[in-house]
Amino acid sequence: MKAFKWYATASAFALTLSLTVPVLAADVTIDDIVNDAKTTHDVVTNGLGTQGQRYSPLTTINKDNVQGLVPAWTISLGGEKMKGQETQPLVKDGVMYFTGSYSRAWAVDTKTGHEIWQYDHRLPEGILPCCDVINRGGSLIGNKFIFGTLDAKLVALDAKTGKVIWSKTIDDFKAGYSFSAAPLIVPTKAHGPLLLNGVSGGEFGVVGRVEARSVETGEIVWSRPVIEGHVGTLNGKPTTMTGTKNETWPGDLWKTGGGATWLGGTFDSETGLAYFGTGNPAPWNSHMRPGDNKWTCSRLAIDVETGEIKWGFQTTPNDGWDFDGVNEVVSFDADGKKLAATADRNGFFYVLDRTNGAFQGAWPFVEKITWAKEIGKDGRPVFNPENRPGNPKDSKDGKKGNSVFAVPSFLGGKNQMPMAYSPDTKLFYVPSNEWGMDIWNEPVAYKKGAAYLGAGFTIKPLFEDHIGSMKAIDPMTGKIVWQANNRAPLWGGVLTTAGGLVFYGTPEGEFKALDATSGKELYSFNTGSGIVGNPITWEENGEQFISVISGWGGAVPLWGGEVAKTVAHLNQGGMMWTFKLPKKMAAN
């Protein structure tokens, strides 16, 4: 007999389903988190390890038998809130935890797929999410599952019951703030485990920042704004200013400068640094803000003890194309160096020294890039001046600047979908897209809670037969070793394994496995809706399982222009799929 209990707070409610079978609460230690990349019986971090490599050492499912994968179970997210499922699940002690669109969360029995509890956040009227009602996952620590919401809150749930333990407001959603990334849990000597979160809302002129909070209470320990002129805090007191006010920003524009840290971060225990990307400067119209506009479109390394920026690397100074620099920073080692790689929305693949941010190299990973000729030896782009959208003040009526066709589009050579790195092949597997855009500038003024763009755009495909392209990239040379093209844009993440496989999904609903060395397709299963989420794998009772969420949505249907028309027929959905091998095949 199932018993239902309701728990309510002023801003949210949770529906908890109590089972007759006892449910173990997650008991995740900070050591579990730091060592997640090495363990195979659980997945307790976003990225299968804080470094974000999304690599598993499991080999039970491999190139020789992956064609035998079958569904073990699936569960529907139900109701009308089915679109845009961009989450990555977590697994601990026989329970899977994941989030869904509209700021919802679940705990599910990994043996059966039966729901243990479901939490539905009560969203207020007037939320202002930029890019659909998605959520990209949560974090586990102790007995808590913690995730962010579209009304810019952080909610800590009891992992056993789904009951709210604490809830904290990040910022004012009416000003355009929201949050959809998976929070990052990091170890510190001075404060114990801390939860690191960013903010969303760059299109509304918010100022990006990274905050560190107590995992027990949700209270802020330190904060670090990413735009020069703003001052950080530590233990409730002001600390240092980020950069120097007006060094690379004119007038008061730094006060509404953008730089949203909307994708979350990674952490490297060897350096003690958390790596966060920062979004576009505001407004989009770059003629209003001459200068580099630090630290927008950048990768920042932050000391997790103090919140101080140890180094910064800006990929697109004075961005005029909305090339957010938020994409994940993945740590890896090569040639005796501690390195980090990032595939930028601007179409270039960068490798940096992760200890000090020193530039190692950058190469184009998409075709026909127009905005820059190359990346110079100093790491700065060599701009094509004629490909910057024109200044509206130069037009006859002052209302629309000269339009240009820019590649890639503002949705990027790669967007939020995380890449993977295999230490076996020493290759990165990058879900990329080949598209461009007509873009022009318009006059704009800041108004709280209103879009702060100053630009118009229309996205267009570059090739008739494909937009998406899964690419295997050598990070030491930039060589594209192989690529697998896809008609629709790729918008989901990647998993690679010691079994020699690369897993990912497509908007057409296919969950695929490729040979990690050659790119040959070895397996495909249609999930019934487009995949924009991130796959995981783990081992339980001697069997290897693989899970991925299916549910089309995200930014492409909203902002894709001509591209959106080509995928308008794709169905929404919300299903968590879990696969395994039949026992006879797994034993061979």
For residue range 379-406, list pLDDT tens digits in order.
999 999 999 999 999 998 999 999 999 9
Q: Which residues fall within 8 angstroms of residue 31, CB to CB, at 6 or more apart? A: none
Q: Among candidates 248, 286, 561, which has minimal Cα distance to 401?
A: 286
* Tokens read off for 110: 């990994």
- pLDDT for 471 equals 98
Query: Taking the CB of residue 405, how many other CB atoms lie within 10 A of it?
Result: 14
The stretch 459-475 carries a mean pLDDT of 97
| pLDDT for 500 beyond 70 | yes
State residue 574's pLDDT score: 93
Query: Of 181, 213, 184, 214, whose CA–CA distance to 200 is shortest?
Result: 181
List 521's β-bridge partners, or say none: 514
Closest CA to 263 of 138, 147, 179: 179
Least confident of 97-111, 271-285, 388-402, 560-574: 560-574
51-55, 72-76, 397-401, 560-564: segment of lowest average pLDDT: 560-564
**Which pLDDT belongs to residue 171?**
96
**Residue 295 preceded by cis peptide, ω within 30:** yes
Task: Answer whether 533's CB lies under 8 Å from 511's CB.
Answer: no
List the domains of the chain with CATH numbers. 3-587 (2.140.10.10)
Chain segment 324-337, per-residue pLDDT in tens: 999 999 999 999 99
Name 428's bridge partners. 421, 473
Q: Tokens in use for 224? A: 């670090």
237 burial via Cβ count (<10 Å: 0-12, 13-18, 19+): exposed
The token pair at 521 is 């397709």
pLDDT in tens, 63-99: 999 999 999 999 999 877 788 999 999 999 999 999 9
Determine the pLDDT at residue 24.
Answer: 62
pTM above 0.85, yes or no: yes
CA distance 86 to 133: 10
pLDDT score of 1 more than 60: no
Confidence of residue 155 (pLDDT cuts 50, 70, 90): very high
Q: Is the pLDDT reported for residue 131 higher than 90?
A: no
pLDDT at 26: 73
Mean pLDDT for 273-292 is 97
Decide which of 482 and 1 is more confident: 482
Decide if 290 contacts 238 (C-beta within 8 A): no
pLDDT of residue 23: 56
The answer to which of 21-25, 30-34, 85-89, 584-588 has the lowest mean pLDDT is: 21-25
- The CB density around residue 172, as the number of other CB atoms within 10 Å, is 14
Give me the pLDDT at residue 135, please.
Answer: 96
Assigned token pair, 308: 């101080």
pLDDT per residue over 427-440, tens digit each? 999 999 999 999 99
pLDDT of residue 13 exceeding 50, the answer is no
Residue-wise pLDDT for 185-226, tens only, equals 999 999 999 999 999 998 899 999 999 999 999 999 999 999
Check pLDDT > 90 for residue 154: yes
Q: Is the peptide bond before 408 cis (omega within 30 degrees of 0)?
A: yes
Question: What value does the mean pLDDT of the chain take?
Answer: 94
The helix/strand/coil state of 400 is: coil
Alpha-helical (H) ranges within 97-194 are none
Q: What is the mean pLDDT of residues 295-324?
A: 98
pLDDT at 7: 28
pLDDT of 15 > 60? The answer is: no
Residue pair 478/423 in contact (Cβ under 8 Å)? The answer is no
Q: So which residues are the catalytic ones?
A: 322
Q: Which residues have CB under 8 Å from 77's CB, separation 6+? A: 85, 100, 101, 104, 106, 551, 574, 575, 576
Please state, in angstroms and rounded to a whole number, the distance separating the CA atoms of residues 366 and 347: 6
Query: By percentage, how much of the chain surpasses pLDDT 70?
Result: 95
Under 8 Å between Cβ of 227 and 259: yes
DSSP assignment, residue 391?
P
